[in-house]
A and B are shown apart, each in its own frame.
Chain A
Amino acid sequence: MPFIPHSDRDIREMLAVIGAPDIDALFDEIPAELKAGKLTQVPPGISEMEISRLMMERAEADGRYLNFLGAGAYEHHIPAAVWQIATRGEFYSAYTPYQAEASQGTLQLIYEYQTMMTRLTGLGVSNASLYDGGSALGEAVLMAIRASKSSARRVLMPKTVHPLYRAACRTVVGNQNIELVEVDYDPASGQTKLPTDAAECAALVIPQPNFFGVLEDVDAMTDWAHQNGLMAIALVNPMTLAVLKAPGQWGRHDNPNRGADIAVGDGQPLGAPLSSGGPYYGFMCCKQEFVRQMPGRIVGRTVDLNGKPGFALTLQAREQHIRRSKATSNICTNQGLVVTASTLYMSLLGPEGLARVARASHANTVKLVSKLVAAGAENVFTGAYFHEAVIRTSVPNARLLHSLVGQGIVGGYDLSKDYPELGNAILVCATETKTEADLDRYATQMQRIVSKLSEPPPCARK
């Protein structure tokens, strides 16, 4: 019996102690009419060898592609040590650290993670993680409304925020009478246009870099938010914070309250593989004054009976298992193991390694854009970009991307559905993992496809 250790003798002895004739008798309190019939969609069990073969076949069918797609999930090198250590049984198969004395490993690791995130974001507080960047943005909106001095229930949401983040955010906040107000972007630069009106608004979301890869003038946006009495929610890629200004520093130097109030994003770039979308994790940091409005678990350092330093979950009065209907969120299980991997990743890369990843990703993307432009594409925005950029071609996106897949290349994110005004625009990305030869391969295929497919097909010439 897979994963069940009982021998026939064990079963007999155990039933004798219970005083039951057979295992069926243990279900005698369940009404007979509820008994399940045969499972028809569950195939018979197979051995580890058989499932291994099946999974390898399916993995091979999926194959490997040269990837230039980012859009919220980025291909970075992950040191071998990261997942080898993270999947040690002591991390992998431990529960949430409610029994602090028997969970000091996980608890200290989360404390170290929180510290690293506060240093990246320049804010005083980090929680232990949320589910992903999109749902974390939803939690940030809820938190901003709770923490805001005003009773407003509108939040300014730029169109330069990832459309799928906006969608996840809508799901999270959608049932609480909260309005997400779209903010337009400048069609030339690709930067958010500051709205003229902040009436009845509680917060402004500030993406950096924005979904187009373009860098926003975060100082001006943060100051504008604060001048209008709004909370500033930074939506950031943590990898870029190795070199970009920390959200805690956004705004004018002479402003004592400067800095975004809350920073969120997806931790995936810090050690999580692409893996068809997860598991990743959402991170959330905030200014010290808002710590009691924070959702999710937080670890604190304290001392034990003998005065020895140790770690424990703290401020649990915010959470569902204590506060029930008055909790800051219903979140319970979060993304602990991915945070474990991320903490290892940040420790292995260090400040210099992470900065090199950032600089190399930027440099590769700049090179890629120039090669693609030479191959017949157009760089759409004038704004400075970090490690993603919007390009436009004369070929319909679906045909372009499909043709590239045929050449083993995942070419980018199709923007035509969410931004029809941009035409045949795709979002491309080249991280530190790409070599000059990789970039050339993409550019060569782009040139071939653009020159071939932009000609009208023969049947259209009649």
Chain B
Amino acid sequence: MLIFEYAHPGRSAHAQLPSEDGTLDDLPANLLRDAPPALPECSELDVVRHYTRLSQKNFSIDTQFYPLGSCTMKYNPRACNSLAMLPQFLARHPHASAETGQGFLQCMYELQEILKDVTGMAGVSLAPMAGAQGEFAGIAMIRAYHESRADHARTEILVPNAAHGTNPATAVMCGYTVREIPTDREGNVELDALQAAVGPQTAGLMLTNPSTLGVFEKSILKIRDIVHGAGGLLYYDGANLNAILGRVKPGAMGFDVIHMNLHKTFSTPHGGGGPGAGPVGVAERLLPFLPVPVVIHENGLYRHAVEADLPQSIGRMSANTGNAGVLLRAYVYARMLGAEGMHRVAEFATLNANYLLAKMRDAGFELAYPARRASHEFIVTLKKLKDETGVTAMDFAKRLLDHGFHAPTTYFPLLVPECLLIEPSETESKETLDAFVEACIKIKQEALANPDLVKGAPYSQPVRRLDDVKAARELDIAYKT
């Protein structure tokens, strides 16, 4: 039932109506609505009950294991939420003067310093509001850098063919053309192809390391030399930073610019699709181009540096200061972990992934890169199972829902047929991982014995499999009446 179907003309959540009212008689009549918008007319209890019930139709980290590859679905500590929502933090206006927000700004300044340290970069801006916006900022800085040197020939961004879709989409938004670089059988960038692709037209290379294939790019220093040798810059997609947090600094790998997904590595909530936060870090030569605002500390005062302070900045990413409340959550998380805790994140994320990989392999599942060590995630391919039974990776994923587990990422990266990209994260226990493997074994047995059972899954969810074709053809994206 939709909220609109509770609607009862004349009903309202009375306690929420401002008692002071006013008139609009002084405004031109042609600028006013002739009828009020048809928003729901409900009691407060109607609303609370409806949305509480809706929430119960979701899988979430708080209720299920969520081994979604490339998404780092780790536990989101509750303290991060409650401390970011202290009343003074919530009440502060973004354009109120710096003197009214020294406590908040100090948190932001210290978060910048922490992120500089763990990434090995010379400067950080917290402005971008999501990973894709961080990517945009990063590539825009690469462009601003080349243009500042009057190097206008660089029109091309290189991306591995295994890259996240945001990488090529971002490069195009920044006015670049995209060239894809193939991946070899071991999951590495093909160095010969890279060497052949670079030239005076190369603005930069976007790379995720460990890659989206769940393996560490061993030739990273050679890649650095090839790209830098051609005059291009190296962009680090921080989607997989959880795998190396505190162990390897992207700055040490030679990256010039990096974005981080704080909703992954720093455990801020995914919220059903955001808000995220995608801070960017840069090496020395890109410092002048950082997006504003950046928090600075001078003469004992924390304040936002803006365009006037950074005249070569690529500009603002938002009208305000970015997702401040998300950044506060990340700050609280970073302080609770501390230096030693950061280190442990990578260690235990990697331990969990390699343990799960070993158990899956021992249970007869085929690994996409059997000769490689898993980073914080790994890929299983179900191609053989599909050939034998017709059961696809998608069917397998849907059946996992019936066993109480969220599905791993399916069909990404596209290079591996019938793939499941599995990322357990460091916050899951051995028992949870064992139970997941048991479920996978059971589903495989089901697939062999009764493939239609798996192909019809899920059965236990609020709905069965949905008709996506109908959704797109007979577009119903807003309720009528």
With A83-B85, A89-B62, A215-B27 known to touch, is A111 a contact of B430 (CB < 8 Å)?
A: no
Contact digits for B89-116, partner A, Cβ 8 Å, 1 yes 0 no:
1111111110111111011000001101
Chain A residues, Cβ within 8 Å of B472: 300, 314-315
Whether A105 contacts B31 by the Cβ 8 Å rule is no
Contact digits for B269-294, partner A, Cβ 8 Å, 1 yes 0 no:
11111111000000000000001000
Closest to A218 in B: B31
Give the residues from 114 to 132 in chain B that come closer than 8 angstroms, CB to CB, to chain A.
114, 116-118, 120, 129-132
Chain B residues, Cβ within 8 Å of A351: 36-39, 41
Tell me which of A1, A2, A95, A350 contacts B71 (CB under 8 A): A95
Contact digits for B253-267, partner A, Cβ 8 Å, 1 yes 0 no:
100000001010001
Interface residues on B, range: 35 or more
With A57-B103, A308-B464, A350-B12 known to touch, is A39 a contact of B351 (CB < 8 Å)?
A: no
Chain B residues, Cβ within 8 Å of A196: none
B397 interface residue, CB < 8 Å from A?
A: yes
Least Cβ–Cβ distance between B406 and chain A, in angstroms: 6
B383 interface residue, CB < 8 Å from A?
A: no
Whether A45 contacts B339 by the Cβ 8 Å rule is yes
With A99-B401, A299-B477 known to touch, is A14 a contact of B130 (CB < 8 Å)?
A: no
Whether A350 contacts B39 by the Cβ 8 Å rule is yes
With A29-B215, A167-B315, A274-B93 known to touch, is A330 a contact of B170 (CB < 8 Å)?
A: yes
B365 interface residue, CB < 8 Å from A?
A: no
Closest 5 CB pairs of A and B: A363-B22, A45-B338, A89-B62, A58-B103, A337-B271
Whether A45 contacts B38 by the Cβ 8 Å rule is no
Whether A62 contacts B59 by the Cβ 8 Å rule is no
Least Cβ–Cβ distance between A146 and chain B, in angstroms: 12
Whether A94 contacts B272 by the Cβ 8 Å rule is yes
Give the number of chain A interface residues (Cβ < 8 Å): 200
Listed by A's residue number, 12 A-B pairs whose Cβ atoms lie within 8 Å are A46-B335, A51-B335, A71-B95, A94-B270, A95-B71, A101-B401, A104-B57, A300-B477, A303-B470, A333-B273, A356-B18, A405-B96
Stretch from B226-234, B446-454, B455-463 at the A interface: B455-463
Whether A41 contacts B55 by the Cβ 8 Å rule is no
Stretch from A121-129, A180-188, A225-233, A442-450 at the B interface: A121-129
Chain A residues, Cβ within 8 Å of B118: 39, 42
Chain B residues, Cβ within 8 Å of A322: 165
CA distance A237 to B250 in the complex (A): 41
Least Cβ–Cβ distance between B370 and chain A, in angstroms: 14
Whether A278 contacts B340 by the Cβ 8 Å rule is no
Least Cβ–Cβ distance between A439 and chain B, in angstroms: 12
Give the residues from 1 to 53 in chain A that come closer than 8 angstroms, CB to CB, to chain B.
1-6, 10-11, 13-15, 17-20, 23, 26-31, 33-36, 38-48, 51-52
Give the residues from 278 to 308 in chain A that come closer than 8 angstroms, CB to CB, to chain B.
278-281, 291, 297-306, 308
With A27-B350, A308-B463, A335-B275 known to touch, is A52 a contact of B79 (CB < 8 Å)?
A: yes
Give the residues from 56 to 108 in chain B that come closer than 8 angstroms, CB to CB, to chain A.
56-63, 66, 68, 71, 73-77, 79, 81, 83, 85-97, 99-104, 106-107
